[in-house]
C-alpha cells in the first residue's frame, strides 16, 4: 500500500538510499583500513551520482567489531558484511594489538585499531563467540576493562554466539534479556541475565544473537534499526540473503535428538568451564 | 524410522562423527596456520575420546579458498566455517603472496599459502566474488593460470557470488550449468555456461553458489557431499544455522521492484565491464 502519488516519493527515497548504499563500499574501505591499502580507492563501477540527493541516507556511526584469539570468524564477518554497507559508518576491527588475530579454525584477520586507540564514543561494540578462546576472553582483564569502558559510551553493546558470555563476564548483561549459542544460553543466568530463546534479542542498550550464523540476522536487524526498512531491504538483496539450508538441523527443535545429545556431550567441558568462570565473576 | 536395534548403531555412528567434528577444530587450526600461531593448540574443552572409534569419519581433503584484493569477505568465510569443520581436512587460504589481502569493504585476511606453494592435488578450489576487485581478478593472468592448472587436478572447482565470473574468465565454465549473484547470473552465458536460478548448482566437477550469503548453503552442501547427512546436520546445529532474516527482500522474487531496479542501475557499470571482459575472453 502506498500513499497517493507515493510511488515517485518512494522511488526518490530508494534512489538516494541505494546510491548511498553503494557509495558505502568505497567509504568503508577507505576508512577501515586506515588508508594502508591499495584497495582503498573509489570503485569506478559504482554510479554514485544520486548520493548527494539525499544526505539523510548517510550516517556517521562508529562500529567496533572485537577480535580476540580463538574467535569464530563467521561470528564477526556475518555482521561485518551487513554493517559495512552502512553509508558513512566507520567499521573498526579492534584487538589488543595490530597483529593478525587467529580465529578458532585458523584464518587470521588483521585488526584496524587497538583497544587503546579505539574511539571512545561508539555506536555499537560487537563481541563474536568461540570456544576455548572465548573462555580465555572471559578472563582477560584488559578486554573486560575495554568493554566496561566503552559500555559507558556506546549506544549498544552486542554479541553473536558465545560472545554474550564475554559481555556477561564483564558484568554487562545483569538484568538484561539476552541470548547466546544454544549450548550456552542457560549459562547467561549465571551472569544475572534472563536467557531468551530468540534469534536476535534487543533489550534497551544490549543486543545479543544466537549461535554463529545468527550474526547475519543480527547484522541485518541493526541495519534496519539504524537506517530503516528500505535501506535494510537493499542490503538484504545485495547480499542475496534468501537462505536455503540444504538440511534442517539448525536448531534444537529440528535437529535429531542424537545429534543434540552428542554436541551437548562434546561441549560439556566448555559449559562447565564457563560456569566456573561465572561463579568466580559473580562471587 | 530406524532399523530394529538401530538406535545404538545410530548413536555409535553419531558419536564418532560428532567427536570427529570437534576434533576438527584443533586439527584445522593446527594445520591451516602453519603452526605460526599460539592459538594452534589442542582445545581442552573438547572431549575427543570417541574419535578413534570411527576413523571413517575422518577425511583428508585439501580445500583451497582463494583470496584476491577486493573479494567479499563473507563470500569466503561462509564456506570456510562449514568446511573447516571437516575432520582431517586442510583448509588453505591461497593468494598471490602471504601479505594480508584486503576485502572489498576493508578488513584484511591473512593467506596461509601462495598460488606458487599451494598443493597441486586438491579436492576443492573456491573463488569468492566482489565487484571491482572481481573485475580485476577476471583479467589477472596469474590467477587465471593458477585456476586452470588446479582445475586439471581438482575434484571440484567452485565459486560463491560473482566468483563464478572469474571461473568463467578462466574458461572453466564452458558447457556447465552454473549460477552467480543475481545481477551477474545471465552474464555466465557470455562465458559459455548455462545460467541457472538456483541457490547452489552442482554440475559434475563444478559447484557454484548464488550471491554472498549463498556461501553458507554451498559450504553445508559440500560438507554433506563429503561426509554425509549426519555429519552435515551436526555442523549445521553447531553453527545454529536456522536462519531468520528479519526482512524478506533477499531475492528478486521477494524484494520490492524499486529496490531491484535501483540495485540494477547501481551495478550496471559492473555488469557492462564484465560483459566487455567476457567479449575479450571468448574472442
Give the per-residue SS3 of B113-178.
EECCCCCCCCCEEEECCECHHHHHHCCCHHHHHHHHHHHCCCCEEEECCCHHHHHHHCCCCCCCEE
Look up residue B84 and give its three cell numbers.
Answer: 573447516
**Calpha distance A137→A150 (Å, rounded):** 16
Q: Which long-range contacts (C-beta less than 8 Å, at least 24 apart) are formed by A270-276?
A: A270/A131, A270/A132, A270/A135, A270/A183, A270/A184, A270/B45, A270/B46, A271/A183, A271/A184, A271/A187, A273/A135, A273/B45, A274/A135, A274/A138, A274/A162, A274/A165, A274/A184, A274/A187, A274/A190, A275/A187, A275/A190
pLDDT the model gives residue A58: 78
Closest CA of chain B from A283, distance in Å: 23
pLDDT the model gives residue B236: 97
pLDDT band with cut points at 50, 70 and 90 for residue A282:
low
CB atoms within 10 A of CB B161: 35
In 3D, which of B65, B48, B53, B67 has the Cα closest to residue B13?
B53
B62-110 residue pLDDT tens: 999 999 999 999 999 999 999 999 999 999 999 999 999 999 999 999 9
Three-state secondary structure call for residue A225: helix
Q: Find the range with the poorest average confidence among A95-99, A181-185, B30-34.
A: B30-34
pLDDT the model gives residue B159: 98
Q: Find the range with the poorest average confidence among A28-37, A124-133, B7-16, B105-114.
A: A28-37
**Calpha distance B118→B151 (Å, rounded):** 13
pLDDT band with cut points at 50, 70 and 90 for residue B58:
confident
- B138, pLDDT greater than 50: yes
- B12, pLDDT greater than 70: no
pLDDT band with cut points at 50, 70 and 90 for residue B39:
very low
A118-134 residue pLDDT tens: 999 999 999 999 999 99
CB contact under 8 A, B132 and A44: yes
pLDDT the model gives residue A4: 33
In 3D, which of B187, B130, B259, B267 has the Cα closest to residue A46?
B267
pLDDT the model gives residue B114: 98
Give the pLDDT mean for A231-249. 97
Give the pLDDT mean for A221-246. 96
Three-state secondary structure call for residue A175: coil
Please identify among residues 122-151 of chain B the ones whose CB lies closer than 8 Å to any CB of chain A: 131-133, 135
B193-236 residue pLDDT tens: 999 999 999 999 999 999 999 999 999 999 999 999 999 999 99
Maximum Cα interatomic distance, chain B, rounded to a whole number of Å: 63
Contacts of B28 in chain A (CB under 8 A): 105-106
CB atoms within 10 A of CB B2: 9
Please indicate if any CB of chain B lies within 8 Å of the CB of A223. no
pLDDT the model gives residue B189: 98
pLDDT band with cut points at 50, 70 and 90 for residue B26:
very low
pLDDT the model gives residue A107: 96
The conformation of residue A179, written as its DSSP 8-state character, comes to -
A71-93 residue pLDDT tens: 999 999 999 999 999 999 999 99
Is this prediction's pTM over 0.90? no
Phi then psi for residue B135, to 5 deg, are -60, -40
Closest partner residue to B244 among A70, A217, A246, by Cβ? A217
CB contact under 8 A, A43 and B212: no
Angle, helices A257-266/A268-282, rounded to nearest 10 degrees: 50
pLDDT band with cut points at 50, 70 and 90 for residue B18:
low
- A224, pLDDT greater than 50: yes
Phi then psi for residue B282, to 5 deg, are -100, 0
Closest partner residue to A39 among B70, B237, B269, by Cβ? B70
Phi then psi for residue B281, to 5 deg, are -70, -30
Closest partner residue to B251 among A43, A81, A240, by Cβ? A240
- A234, pLDDT greater than 70: yes
Give the pLDDT mean for A164-181. 98
β-pairing, B108-110 vs A108-110, is: antiparallel
- A39, pLDDT greater than 50: no
pLDDT the model gives residue B44: 44
pLDDT the model gives residue B51: 35
CB contact under 8 A, A270 and B210: no
Q: Find the range with the poorest average confidence among A215-219, A221-225, A262-266, B90-94.
A: A262-266
Please identify among residues 155-184 of chain B the ones whose CB lies closer than 8 Å to any CB of chain A: 161, 181-182
C-beta separation of B212 from B180 below 8 A: no
Helices (H), chain A: 6-32, 73-84, 132-137, 141-151, 163-169, 214-227, 229-238, 257-266, 268-282
Closest CA of chain A from B256, distance in Å: 8
Residue of A nearest to B209 (CA): A240
pLDDT the model gives residue A193: 98
Of chain A, the percentage scoring pLDDT greater than 90 comes to 77
pLDDT band with cut points at 50, 70 and 90 for residue B164:
very high
Look up residue B235 and give its three cell numbers.
Answer: 555442523
CB contact under 8 A, A255 and B233: yes
Amino acid at each position: 500500500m502506498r500513499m497517493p502519488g507515493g510511488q515517485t516519493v518512494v522511488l526518490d527515497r530508494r534512489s538516494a538510499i541505494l546510491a548511498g548504499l553503494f557509495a558505502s563500499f568505497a567509504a568503508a574501505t577507505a576508512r577501515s583500513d586506515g588508508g594502508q591499502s591499495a584497495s582503498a580507492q573509489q570503485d569506478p563501477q559504482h554510479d554514485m551520482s544520486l548520493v548527494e540527493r539525499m544526505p539523510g541516507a548517510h550516517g556517521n556511526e562508529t562500529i567496533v567489531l572485537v577480535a580476540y584469539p580463538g574467535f569464530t570468524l563467521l561470528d564477526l564477518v556475518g555482521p561485518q558484511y551487513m554493517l559495512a554497507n552502512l553509508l558513512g559508518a566507520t567499521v573498526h576491527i579492534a584487538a589488543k594489538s595490530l597483529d593478525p588475530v587467529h580465529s578458532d579454525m585458523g584464518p587470521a584477520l588483521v585488526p584496524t585499531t587497538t583497544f587503546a586507540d579505539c574511539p571512545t564514543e561508539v555506536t555499537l561494540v560487537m563481541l563474536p563467540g568461540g570456544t576455548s578462546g572465548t573462555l580465555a576472553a572471559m578472563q582477560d582483564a584488559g578486554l573486560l576493562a575495554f568493554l566496561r569502558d566503552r559500555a559507558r559510551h556506546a549506544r549498544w553493546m552486542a554479541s553473536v554466539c558465545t560472545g554474550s558470555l564475554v559481555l556477561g563476564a564483564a558484568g554487562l548483561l545483569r538484568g538484561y534479556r539476552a541470548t547466546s549459542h544454544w549450548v550456552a544460553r542457560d549459562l547467561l543466568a549465571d551472569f544475572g541475565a534472563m536467557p531468551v530463546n530468540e534469534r536476535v534479542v534487543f533489550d534497551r542498550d544490549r543486543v545479543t544473537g544466537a549461535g554463529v550464523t545468527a550474526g547475519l540476522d543480527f547484522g541485518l536487524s541493526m541495519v534496519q534499526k539504524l537506517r530503516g526498512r528500505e535501506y535494510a531491504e537493499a542490503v538484504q538483496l545485495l547480499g542475496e540473503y534468501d537462505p536455503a539450508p540444504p538440511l534442517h538441523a539448525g536448531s534444537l527443535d529440528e535437529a535429531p535428538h542424537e545429534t543434540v545429545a552428542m554436541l551437548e556431550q562434546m561441549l560439556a567441558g566448555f559449559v562447565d568451564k564457563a560456569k566456573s568462570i561465572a561463579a568466580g565473576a559473580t562471587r
